[in-house]
Structure 1
């Protein structure tokens, strides 16, 4: 038996700006944040000689701190990049949410980084070269093991992102780019280990191979494992799942959830066979951060950003008369809730339309208290969406309502409940829309595709060829969430201001808001009614 060595790969993914170990909406301690991750990283490095640390994307967006920094402290260094520099990351991959604040903040983050950003399939439309750095990086351990890390990103981004944020970028199919570059690496770089860090997830069950989502091409992880030779390790993300499997058709895979809940780890054992390193074992695992003590030294590095953010968050911006608190999310989706109508009214005011759709993004929405602060706004509206007005036909609106109606199913007791496909493998509560400006009713006891039993505008049935201008967030307007009926629709106008800012501006104009709703929609189950 020849000499053996172990290479340990640590992965973070979908940190979404989480550094501090608490939730901004409530300030309650939570098992999240890069400060807990740091404790794990430092311990693993003390215990192992050959450690590679990779971030898999969706790094710089997602918390009030990252939002406030971009909007108000933009002349300072990006705090997330500052911390990854401090932790000496070996590489990072561009995620879809990296584009949310626009191309300039992203370029700034890349330029401030002391590590390479890998983006093999994000190409300049004119140059056909990677826009944000290198396709890959090769690291060599003290024992001479050559490890190639290739970075690719889900190419589905144009379906979600504000077009202005991705101008001049060609999104090459992630699978095809990976196939091209893995072959090139094997032929030209003589690597002992090939790692693909893919900001994307799995489209099929890892055990059975059965599809777990509509095959849009957004996630191609299973296909990468099953149909492509040459990959030893596949680091994944995007879906916010906790996955670790040492052998998927010979590929070790890992996905560490989101917000710093866990660190993905893959240990690769290699043996020297006649002067060549051969992989003899791979072991994937997840290292939970739940019981880790936050790294106070790391927190001090961004304390200035956090203090400014907390001052901004606690500033009262308005008042609510009545009740906008959400106690039961399912009930707020079955019958109109005053908070939902408020969001719709703000969108229609900002876009000058009389029809709107929106969603409750998570299953833990709080609604708004009597005295409203920015903390309340950002804890409810967690994405930096802008608004888009589409000109839709009655047919497209009906199709969109039918898509939303698949969010529900009927339990054995005849009760309305959430369709499990909107909860697993990834929570997708944000893909159920509610509408304002039309009157409609869904009967979820009927077959999917035939659940909209009433659809009117101003008391008159909406005809298939009627045209209506509808405001919605830019993610949905691009067809995100399998709302394919919106693709190619005429864009009437765009409101290039983040929704959180739009909400704050609304309170500036209307310091007191009255909680009310007109009950324009109902979700029913005729079996029970």
Structure 2
């Protein structure tokens, strides 16, 4: 006789509950007509459970849950649950849905361990991370796996599912200030190889891995740090795994099989995009024979959440938290003298990115008043759609300019290190031979994100995109004079970059300044204190894109 098991999976929810864009204060729309949020996921889950008439249906998440929208930022920073005792919105929504297990992603650690621990305690299901090891005990700091007995059907033999959670080792780099000395993050492949046999020995009839790591096999973390995207390697190298739900890459992988090199078994993998836009559905056909369970077939499909309405129970459970967030994000903080846009911030200096530089520079200069070195500022063009209107500027518009929950820090760099930093950043651009047309839409290397292109304020420089990567900074001046290799500067930079995120050179050392203040909040406070945002206060055309010495976007 045969039975079936269905597993539903989400990943990279990034704080999305409502189908709402808090930066625009409007319904979410990405142009492809995708929808987002756990309220949509809840309707998908409810429909599948109804279809299966109470038969075994598990719901899992592969991580990056509590960071990413202004809703979750509000309950982490503005009214933190660690101070108010409020139930975290992602715990509320996931509990309504009835998740069976969640895996910790790297962004779970962004707000510190106390908030993470409180969120975990508020969940009605375990949070898994077998490779996050306590430095104090040498044991997993969180539950490594879950063994769950499920009801396949009336009178079906007992059946146990083992769910192993693996988090991303990049947390040791990206949130070094939070986890250093407290947690270490071990290799995901080696961790799976350790725990899968133990799960089988403990009675798991089916082993699922919920992994917060992509399947490309590539990594941005550099030498000495375990692979960031090892899902395919786990499937190929670790015997005893039936399927892997994975995340981190924000990709849509409907169904992908990998052959295990030890057993020849096909391991099913799936990645359900991001933000709750998709739900992976894995279906297993099972047969009990000779006293053991056999997986006869397995497959995966993808459900688009724009095919359902938002679940009213989730909406009602979180309506007050949503309303408080909207009230905060629509609050006016200043008046802008002109409209400003970030659309061209990767092509030329723009006043709106100059605003970020000015606030960072002012903050670091005030904090290090006794340090007489010149202060430079690093900032990225995170969003091409960010804009300030001429007139009233709200919290949401400033937050839309700085979309990450980064804190401001400062380091000391030499002139040689500043040049190396800029050369590394300038790899963002494709090489353009003299005479060929330059299209702003395709000027960057394919696949290289805008957030890995940094500009530096406080010095003057040219980036010559006719030259090979590593030889593009053809002019580098401070105060009208060429920057000497042994010159010294204080550089304001976000904690992600300073901790090694993106592997930019010169980072990773002990900061001169690190007060834990979020850049987004500094921008809001600076604007509120002055009341007026005027480009005359911070606009400076200090860098140029050139080709063979000729400016491209004057």
- C-alpha contact 2:103 2:128 (8 A) present in aligned 1: yes
Give the 3 Å change call, closer, same or farther, for CA 481–416 of structure 1 in structure 2.
Answer: farther
Which residue of 366, 369, 377 maps to 2:387?
Answer: 366
Which residue of 415, 419, 428 maps to 1:394?
Answer: 415
Stretches of structure 1 lacking an aligned partner (at least 5 in a row): 205-210
2:119 — aligned with what? 109
**How do 1:265-276 and structure 2 match up within 5 A?**
265-276=281-292
2:278 is the alignment partner of 1:262: yes
Stretches of structure 2 lacking an aligned partner (at least 5 in a row): 29-34, 260-265, 366-373
Which residue of 285, 289, 292 maps to 2:301?
Answer: 285
Query: Aligned partners of 1:447, 1:363: CA distance in 2, in Å?
Result: 26
**How do 1:374-389 and structure 2 match up within 5 A?**
374-389=395-410
- C-alpha contact 1:410 1:525 (8 A) present in aligned 2: no
2:429 — aligned with what? 408
Give the 3 Å change call, closer, same or farther, for CA 488–307 of structure 1 in structure 2.
Answer: closer
The CA deviation at 1:525 is 2.6
2:88 is the alignment partner of 1:78: yes
Query: Aligned partners of 2:302, 2:482: CA distance in 1, in Å?
Result: 54
1:177 — aligned with what? 191
The CA deviation at 1:252 is 1.0
2:174 — aligned with what? 160
Which residue of 13, 22, 25 maps to 2:23?
Answer: 25
- C-alpha contact 2:61 2:102 (8 A) present in aligned 1: yes
Which residue of 503, 512, 516 maps to 1:482?
Answer: 503
Query: Aligned partners of 1:527, 1:245: CA distance in 2, in Å?
Result: 49
The CA deviation at 1:253 is 1.0
1:508 — aligned with what? 528
1:256-283 per-position Cα deviation (integer Å, ceiling 9, x unaligned):
1211111122112222232321112221
Query: Aligned partners of 1:17, 1:10: CA distance in 2, in Å?
Result: 19
- C-alpha contact 1:358 1:435 (8 A) present in aligned 2: yes
2:310 — aligned with what? 294
Query: Aligned partners of 2:423, 2:476: CA distance in 1, in Å?
Result: 11
| Deviates most, 364-373 or 488-497 | 364-373
Give the secondary-structure state (helix, strand or coil) at the position aligned to 1:239: coil
RMSD over aligned CA atoms reads: 2.2
1:207 — aligned with what? none
1:355 — aligned with what? 376
2:144 — aligned with what? 135
2:160 is the alignment partner of 1:146: yes
Query: Aligned partners of 2:291, 2:377: CA distance in 1, in Å?
Result: 66
Aligned length: 513
Give the secondary-structure state (helix, strand or coil) at the position aligned to 1:497: strand
Which residue of 241, 246, 250 maps to 2:251?
Answer: 241
1:148-191 per-position Cα deviation (integer Å, ceiling 9, x unaligned):
100011111121115145551122222221221123223x2232
2:27 is the alignment partner of 1:41: no
Query: Aligned partners of 2:198, 2:389: CA distance in 1, in Å?
Result: 54
- C-alpha contact 1:322 1:514 (8 A) present in aligned 2: yes
Give the secondary-structure state (helix, strand or coil) at the position aligned to 1:486: coil
- C-alpha contact 2:338 2:389 (8 A) present in aligned 1: no
Query: Aligned partners of 2:398, 2:41: CA distance in 1, in Å?
Result: 28
Give the secondary-structure state (helix, strand or coil) at the position aligned to 1:306: helix
Give the TM-score, by structure 1 length. 0.92
Query: Aligned partners of 2:293, 2:15: CA distance in 1, in Å?
Result: 38
2:262 — aligned with what? none
The CA deviation at 1:35 is 0.8
Give the secondary-structure state (helix, strand or coil) at the position aligned to 2:244: strand
The CA deviation at 1:284 is 1.9
| Deviates most, 70-79 or 302-311 | 70-79
2:244 is the alignment partner of 1:222: no
Give the secondary-structure state (helix, strand or coil) at the position aligned to 1:341: helix
